[in-house]
């Protein structure tokens, strides 16, 4: 992504690049995990099954071409997301530098084959739906971030192939969906639309007006759910005793340094900025400070960060999560130490002519976490790890004798 106030190429030369760019392994992993988790939704009508299964299912309505804009929306990715028929969109419209994204030609699928799995064709429509599930913001900005597009495409390709293999395995095992369950899923899916006309428009765009094709797609999703429930979810449950044993065996994993959780709005002139450029950056910061002081919540500050901030964290509502004190600029630490959660700082010059405004969300001292406090979260983490191991094993098994061609 390109900073509005400076060139992207000079970021690495700054004294504290990790404060303004999402470039550390921790941050990349965090985004990767959040994106992967968001991509594992199985559609609004299947929300109740999330506690049972955490893998991506291809619901019938991940439409790259049509999405009712009025449906209930919520936030993903610090990027922020809500599941809407499996496709996810933010609850607001963040602002990105225009040149950070590819052109909207990426949103013009024509049904071109991209892969073949045991003779079954997968098309660019399938691929684009999956890519939009992983990075829903692309829909609002006519493309994907150039630096992320290749990884998003690769992940989406792997997932649509995996889903097709799982579906074929469900048919091989002669799994079926009870008529009542299918009817209920179709009804719940239809209720997501604001009007019958919008539902009809969706069916027309995605399924050439054929409700039978829509029904087949929903049935496909339910069969995938059923197989993965049996093969993965049921086997990935982590008892409390198992979580406690892990906790006792890995004490270092549960010691944490002093950290600050905060949001930032930053203004970054080019490296070696002229006096005029530095003055202009400070002027922008002064204007932003008045707006930031008027915010009353995490979300309000975050929306402002998305709109005007020039650091990478704007795509996450300015949220740095829990940042290790030792890795923060001294000026930032000094400011955060004097703040209470919910407070907004003054303008901080954390590097030469680099300015930021902070909102403190939490200050956690160094220490050892208590098992009772993190028990549920640890069990969920271990469950996800076990599920991923089982999923990987299943993918390897199903792929072993399959004929898979990427076209």
Give start-end residues of each CATH 1.10.4030 domain in the chain.
40-238+384-406
**Domain spanning 258-365, CATH architecture:** Roll (3.10)
Tell me which of 2.60.40, 1.10.4030, 2.40.50, 1.10.3470 is the CATH number of domain 40-238+384-406: 1.10.4030
What pLDDT is stored for residue 20 in this prediction?
61
Long-range CB pairs of 399-406 (<8 Å, 24+ gap) are 399/165, 402/117, 402/118, 402/165, 403/116, 403/117, 403/118, 403/119, 404/115, 404/116, 404/117, 404/118, 404/161, 405/115, 405/116, 406/114, 406/115, 406/157
**Beta bridge pairs of residue 125:** none
Query: CB under 8 Å to 91, separation ≥6 — which residues?
Result: 73, 74, 75, 80, 82
Q: How many Å apart are CA 20 and CA 314, to the nearest integer?
A: 9
What pLDDT is stored for residue 19 in this prediction?
61
What pLDDT is stored for residue 26 in this prediction?
47
Backbone φ and ψ of 225, nearest 5°: -55, -45
pTM for this prediction: 0.56
Q: What is the pLDDT along the chain (407 residues), one digit of tens a residue?
A: 222 333 333 444 455 556 666 554 444 454 444 444 433 332 332 333 322 222 222 333 232 222 222 222 222 222 222 222 333 323 333 333 333 334 444 567 778 999 999 999 999 888 988 888 888 777 766 678 777 888 888 989 999 999 999 999 999 999 999 999 999 988 888 888 888 888 888 888 878 888 898 899 889 989 998 998 888 888 888 999 999 999 999 998 898 899 999 999 999 888 788 999 999 999 999 999 999 999 999 999 999 999 999 988 888 889 988 889 988 989 999 999 999 999 999 999 988 889 999 999 999 999 998 899 899 999 999 998 998 889 889 999 999 999 999 98
What secondary structure, in 3-state letters, does 317-329 show?
A: CCEEEEEEHHHCC
What pLDDT is stored for residue 37 in this prediction?
41
**Beta bridge pairs of residue 358:** 264
Give start-end residues of each CATH 3.10.50.40 domain in the chain.
258-365
Q: How many Å apart are CA 197 and CA 400, to the nearest integer?
A: 45
What pLDDT is stored for residue 358 in this prediction?
96
What pLDDT is stored for residue 107 in this prediction?
64
Q: Is 259 exposed, middle or buried (0-12, 13-18, 19+ CB in 10 A)?
A: buried
């Amino acid at each position: 992504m390109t900073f509005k106030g400076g060139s992207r190429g000079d970021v690495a030369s700054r004294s504290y690049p990790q404060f303004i760019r999402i470039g550390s392994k921790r941050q990349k992993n965090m985004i990767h995990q959040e994106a992967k988790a968001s991509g594992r939704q199985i559609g609004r009508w299947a929300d109740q099954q999330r506690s049972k299964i955490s893998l991506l299912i291809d619901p019938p309505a991940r439409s790259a071409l049509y999405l009712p804009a009025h449906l209930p929306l919520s936030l993903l990715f610090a990027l922020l997301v809500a599941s809407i028929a499996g496709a996810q969109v933010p609850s607001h419209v963040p602002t990105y530098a225009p040149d950070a994204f590819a052109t909207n030609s990426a949103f013009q699928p024509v049904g071109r084959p991209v892969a073949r799995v045991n003779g079954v064709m997968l098309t660019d429509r399938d691929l684009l739906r999956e890519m939009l599930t992983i990075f829903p913001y692309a829909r609002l900005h006519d493309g994907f971030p150039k630096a992320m597009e290749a990884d998003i495409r690769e992940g989406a390709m792997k997932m649509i192939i995996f889903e097709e293999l799982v579906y074929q395995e469900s048919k091989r095992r002669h799994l079926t969906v009870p008529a009542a369950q299918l009817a209920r899923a179709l009804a719940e899916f239809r209720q997501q639309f604001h009007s019958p006309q919008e539902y009809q428009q969706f069916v027309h765009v995605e399924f050439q007006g054929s409700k039978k094709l829509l029904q087949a797609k929903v049935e496909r999703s339910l069969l995938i759910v059923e197989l993965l429930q049996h093969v993965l979810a049921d086997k990935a449950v982590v008892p409390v005793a198992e979580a406690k044993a892990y906790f006792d065996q890995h004490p270092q994993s549960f010691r944490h340094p002093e950290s600050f959780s905060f949001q930032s709005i930053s203004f970054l002139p080019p490296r070696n900025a002229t006096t005029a450029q530095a003055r202009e950056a400070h002027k922008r910061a002064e204007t932003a400070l008045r707006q930031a002081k008027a915010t009353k919540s995490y979300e309000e500050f975050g929306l402002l960060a998305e709109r005007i901030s020039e650091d990478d964290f704007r795509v996450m509502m300015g949220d740095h999560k829990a940042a290790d004190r030792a890795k923060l600029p001294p000026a930032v630490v000094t400011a955060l130490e004097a703040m209470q959660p919910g407070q907004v700082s003054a303008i901080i010059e954390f590097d030469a002519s680099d300015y930021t405004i902070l909102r403190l969300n939490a200050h956690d001292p160094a220490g050892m976490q208590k098992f009772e406090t993190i028990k549920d979260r640890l069990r969920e983490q271990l469950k996800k790890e076990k599920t991923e191991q089982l999923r990987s094993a299943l993918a390897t098994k199903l792929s072993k004798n399959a004929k898979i061609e990427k076209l």
